[in-house]
Structure 1
Amino acid sequence: MEKPMKTLLCIVLCSLLQTSVNAQQYPLSKHDSAVVIKNQANYEQSLDEKGNFKDASYFLNQIAYVYWEHNHYEEAIKYYHKSLELNRQIENENGIAMLNNNLGMLYSDIEDFSQSRDYFMKTLAARRSKNEKLGMISALINLSVVLNNLKEYDQSVTFLLEALNLAREKNDVDQMKSCYGMLSETYEKAGNAKQSIYYFDLYKTFTQMAQDDKMDKIMEDYSEERLLKQKLEEENRRGQEELAAKQSRIREIEGKRRSLDVKLSQYDSVNAALYENLTQKELQIEVIQKEFTIKELESERAIQEQNLENEKQRRIRDIVILCLMTMIITTIFIARGYRKARKVAGYLKESRRQITDLNENLQVKVDERTKTLRLANEKLKEYIFSNSHVIRRPVANIIGILNLIETRKGNFQESDLELFALLKTSIDELDEVIKASNESLTLNESVTNQIETSEQ
């Protein structure tokens, strides 16, 4: 009996320790901050440009999840509430049920169990309306956890039994094990040790049979419960038989004592007859024998009482040892959690330092590359500018000659004039290219100056 109770206490202590470690907030990394900003922009764009509430809700959920991962519970709750309002406007029942479930878990994380219960109840109602058994099981178990924290153990047991029946209908062994474990914990908190041990034995039996690959036997008309009940009934029967035997022995001793008392009470009445039939010595022997029998019976009863007292002392000793072990285990887990938290903080600090170094080195490389490209651009600009001026003089001369020929058309044949016209067209195109190059250089220089001014 003591061993299951110790195991249950260890499970509860581990859960409490894990909850206290998880409650610590962690700062958002640069990547996570960027994700939040991007989703915030997408959310606003979905509302402003498209009026698409479904996409807007998706982006809000992404933001809330990032905050939830880093234990920023209040921020996560705020964004989930915004998303919930959008889903109500478009009557998205699945989305509403999912958000109610998330809000229930978040309020449980901040220990606002009344709010958590309300949101889980809404989730359960939605799952029941669509007969989603897996969702109902999850909601019922979550409600049980919250109700245990509110000390509403009877309602918690009711929900867990409903979840257990649903898990049986689906032949879901994992969910059945979870329900047995939760029932054991709930009855233990409620002070019902007998039921707590009963469900813990079921949980242990399921786990052992799963490890032994006997799941078919488990799910065969739930015979494992009957086997466990038979086992418990057999143990109870043996205990009852032992108790009955002890009670029978006590009644036998009491009967002998009453018989002796009757015989002693009759002693005076038969005293005369004894004097007549026995000598004085024989009478003394008879009295001594009776006294010895009485003392023997009293000694046997004293031994029984001493055994009961020893059993009581042993139980008290076991309880004290259990309390001491619980305190020691709690201290060990708290110390380990504290060391783990310090180690994680050290890792985060080192990661931030490495990221800062990488950013600084990256900026230096970017500056060097920009300087190299700017020098190459200057050389290219000088080359193009010089060549454009060198080419422009002969182009201008050719244009002048063609203009002069234009004034003397009568001195040339028709075929020559066509060649001159073709030449003039090509020269004009070349002149346009030179002008475009100069304008491009001027524009590039203006843009470069603006960039340098903004960087300064």
Structure 2
Amino acid sequence: MSVKLYFIIMLSFLLGLFFVAGETFASTTTPSQGLDSLKIQLDTTQNVESRAELLFLIGDQESKINGTTALPYYAEILEIASEKKNPVMRSRAYNRIGVLWYIENNMHESMRNYYLALEGLREIPSNYDLLCGINNNIAWNFQKQKDYKRALEYYNTSERFCEMSNNQSILAHVLNNKGVVFKDLKEYDKALSQLKKSRQINKQQNDITRELFNINNIGVVYQEQGHYETANKYFIQALILNQKRQDHFEATNNLMNLGKSYYMLHQYNAAEDTLKHALRLSEITRSVPQRHEILNYLYQVKEKQQDYQEALHYYTEYNNLEDSLFKQGQYTDLIELEAKYKSAQNERILQESQNQLLKQQYINTLFLIALLFALLFIGILIWIYTNKKRNEKKLIALNKEIDEQNDKIQTINHNLEKTVNDRTKVIREQNEHLREFAYMNSHNIRRPLSNILGLLSLIEEETDPQKIKELTSLANETATEMDEIIQEVNQQLREEKL
């Protein structure tokens, strides 16, 4: 009995120290001079990218004071991202806005902005850090709605992106959150495994803040398993460090969890003192969920102590917070929003496939047209070549005919010596006339022949089908002209009887 009394006295003394420290922390004002300095820099910054980064910093600072005052800064970032066509900046802004709406307890708006953030990274999936963070935030929203299956899906996706980015700090955060989900699913071995991995990483990274999250959560797992004494060691360890660091929010969580353990151990006075101290700290943190849970346990403690008047007081406060915490229909909206997002993704993939198919059909059509033009060009070349050979044959036949006529004349001259003697003078005159005639007509024939040869040379070098057609037409006209000249020569030869 004396040992128990000694324990209670020591606990009261320890809680008294925490209370004094808490009141000291509460009197300390949060410095805002950094925010004012950033706003002054913003007014004098002309570079768009530098301005966007300043807006991010100001938005982050404002969100710690009042989330709604930070929204205009992120809205300006979205305008800059749209103007600069910077999808990464756009996704960063939507992700921050999603966090703000989460703090305001508007899960639907929070999730909508997270999906908009993912949408901006659809074309650049290599931005693993940001993808890791966004998927973690979506998982957290589902976790808060107690949809642990969806939460784990997004946490697993987030973990893959974290490992791809080799960002150990974010990976530790995701593992911590997964550990909490496994705890809620009562898969305690998996929960402890995830939390201890996270703590190990945070210790290596010298991230004391997140390591303290791990310590508190490990304590919660042991608490739910019924190992209250073991759990309390973790809660007290985290509590002492959080009080030193003036982290009122986490200190409140530690005190709240410690109070739960005392309650489960039936140490109601210790539980009451611990929870009341947590309640006072929750006034500093202004966390409605924390205050809600503390009031619930205080109501149960006072009921166990049979102090029904005070129990009713705490129960009334607890119920007054119920409506502000749990808005009806939000979870259904989250599921509908996720379904719309996935449906939009499927439609986009289908549209891209259709566009790719149309592009391939267009390329095939162009190839077919090019092939038809090539076949037409080859046909024209064959036709030109055939005409050339035909004209050459005509010229050869004409020369042969002239040669035959010369041979016939020579034979006649040889056999008819008398006639030759009698008509020597006439023949000489006729031969002279014939030579002049042949000379003149050979020039007349040579001119169109040269033109045809020139046109054929141009056709061989030409690639434009229209020009080839025009040149071919000219060649035909010249060939016809040459044919008429040849016929005229023949006619003249017949008329002259040469």
Give the TM-score category using the shorter length. 0.3 to 0.5
Structure number with bigger Rg = 2
TM-score, structure 1 length as denominator?
0.37
Which structure would you say has the larger RCO, counting Cα contacts within 8 Å and 6 or more residues apart? 1
TM-score, structure 2 length as denominator?
0.35
